[in-house]
């Protein structure tokens, strides 16, 4: 029995990890205390983690605590059974599409018409709307409380009151998927957020993206949804914009915020790999969407558009 020693109790927890090698975004775990006795002055905790489990050892003369780490919520694709569809590449993504950008030949497809949440892939459309408007990129924008994520509670190094230029915010939104940056871009658009979101949906319709819907500019809402075919159309259109190509494939960027200089890196580690020639990319993650990635790249002399959605692993 684990209670042989009155000074020690061991709680065993299990959790699921969803990782894609090119994605650095993550969602915070939820913890709840399921058993608690008298409070004490000192508690020492040792965490032993592995790929599928973690152990919390709590020592105290008067307290016994068992902590449970809740597993991530299943994605829409998992709930819909999309992961039960097998493919010859044994992808961890339940939705995938690879096409030749020039000929539109489909080289690989998997559940490519399924409509699922797209997480921060949303920011590609956000960038297109800002770029199309030809707004001054040197205009200063201040982060406000309205830009704080109340949907998922995600963190940001851009504190309320921080001021950056529109160009800097766009760079951070596309390269490192900065949520407050993306939201501030939509909030400060002429006419405000409702006009901005309306333009996102109008642009999608104009491009022929019939399966796509946007409700906000960051991708934190699971109501931002699309299909692999629609996203391939979006990548093709965004790739025609030199600014979006440059900012989305930037490997790193520094911004001055007050007295601090903040270093941001690209969420897609493949942009630093010399074996990859990437012309445009965007990553995304929320629990409802799984790990997501879109890219325009060149392989074996062919320009390809790749869409991978709802990945449950590398």
Point out the catalytic residue in the list 75, 93, 94, 120: 120
Paired tokens of 127 = 């960038």
pLDDT tens for each residue of 305-314: 999 999 997 7
Q: Is the whole-model pTM more than 0.85?
A: no
Point out the catalytic residue in the list 93, 177, 226, 227: 177
The percent of the chain in helix, strand and coil, each rounded to the nearest 5, is 25, 30, 45
User: pLDDT at position 258, please?
Assistant: 86
Q: Is residue 49 among the annotated active site residues?
A: no
Q: Is residue 177 among the annotated active site residues?
A: yes
Alpha carbon 300 to its chain centroid, in Å, reads 29
User: pLDDT at position 284, please?
Assistant: 97
Residues 6+ apart with CB under 8 A from 79: none
Q: Report the alpha-carbon distance of residue 13 to residue 68 in Å, rounded.
A: 6
Helix (H/G/I), strand (E/B), else coil: 167: helix
Nearest to 24 by CA among 307, 279, 272: 272
Are residues 148 and 179 in contact, defined by beta-carbon separation less than 8 angstroms? Answer: no
Neighbour-count burial for 263-274, b at 16+ CB within 10 Å, e otherwise = ebebbbbbbeee
Nearest to 293 by CA among 97, 71, 89: 97
Strands 93-100 and 31-36: unpaired
Torsion of CA 146, 151, 156, 158, to 10 degrees: -10
Point out the catalytic residue in the list 60, 93, 110, 123: 123
Query: What is the residue-wise DSSP string for 210-272?
Result: TT-B-SSSSS-STT-EE-HHHHHHHHHHHHT-HHHHHHHT-SEEEEEETTEEEEEE-S-GGGG
H/E run at residue 142: strand 140-142
Residues 6+ apart with CB under 8 A from 166: 130, 135, 136, 137, 138, 139, 141, 185, 188
H/E run at residue 32: strand 31-36
Paired tokens of 185 = 């871009």
Residue 203, Cβ neighbours under 10 Å: how many? Answer: 18
H/E run at residue 11: strand 8-14
**Whose structure tokens read 């409702």?**
194
User: pLDDT at position 73, please?
Assistant: 85
Q: Is residue 75 among the annotated active site residues?
A: no
**Whose structure tokens read 């205390």?**
33
Helix (H/G/I), strand (E/B), else coil: 15: coil
Low-confidence ranges of the chain (pLDDT < 50): 1-58
């Amino acid at each position: 029995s684990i209670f042989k020693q009155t000074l020690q109790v061991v709680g065993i927890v299990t959790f699921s990890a969803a990782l894609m090698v090119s994605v650095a975004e993550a969602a915070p775990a939820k913890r709840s205390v399921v058993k608690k006795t008298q409070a004490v002055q000192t508690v020492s905790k040792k965490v032993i983690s592995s790929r599928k489990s973690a152990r919390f050892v709590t020592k105290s003369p008067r307290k016994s605590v068992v902590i449970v780490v809740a597993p991530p919520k299943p994605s829409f694709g998992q709930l819909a059974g999309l992961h039960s569809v097998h493919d010859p590449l044994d992808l961890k993504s339940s939705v995938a599409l690879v096409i030749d950008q020039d000929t539109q030949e489909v080289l690989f497809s998997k559940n490519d018409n399924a409509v699922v949440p797209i997480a921060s892939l949303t920011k590609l459309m956000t960038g297109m709307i800002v770029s199309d408007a030809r707004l001054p990129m040197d205009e200063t924008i201040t982060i406000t409380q309205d830009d704080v994520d109340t949907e998922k509670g995600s963190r940001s190094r851009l504190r309320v009151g921080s001021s950056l230029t529109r160009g800097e915010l766009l760079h951070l939104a596309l390269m490192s998927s900065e949520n407050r940056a993306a939201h501030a871009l939509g909030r400060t658009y002429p006419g405000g957020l409702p006009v901005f979101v309306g333009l996102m949906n109008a642009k999608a319709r104009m491009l022929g993206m019939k399966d796509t819907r946007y409700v906000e500019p960051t991708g934190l809402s699971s109501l931002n949804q699309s299909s692999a075919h629609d996203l391939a159309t979006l990548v093709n259109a965004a790739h025609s914009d030199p600014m979006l190509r440059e900012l989305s494939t930037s490997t790193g960027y520094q911004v001055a915020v007050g007295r601090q200089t903040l270093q941001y890196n690209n969420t897609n580690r493949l942009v630093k790999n010399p074996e990859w020639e990437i012309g445009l990319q965007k990553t995304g993650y929320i629990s409802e969407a799984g790990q997501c990635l879109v890219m325009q790249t060149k392989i074996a002399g062919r320009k390809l558009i790749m869409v991978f959605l709802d990945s449950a692993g590398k």
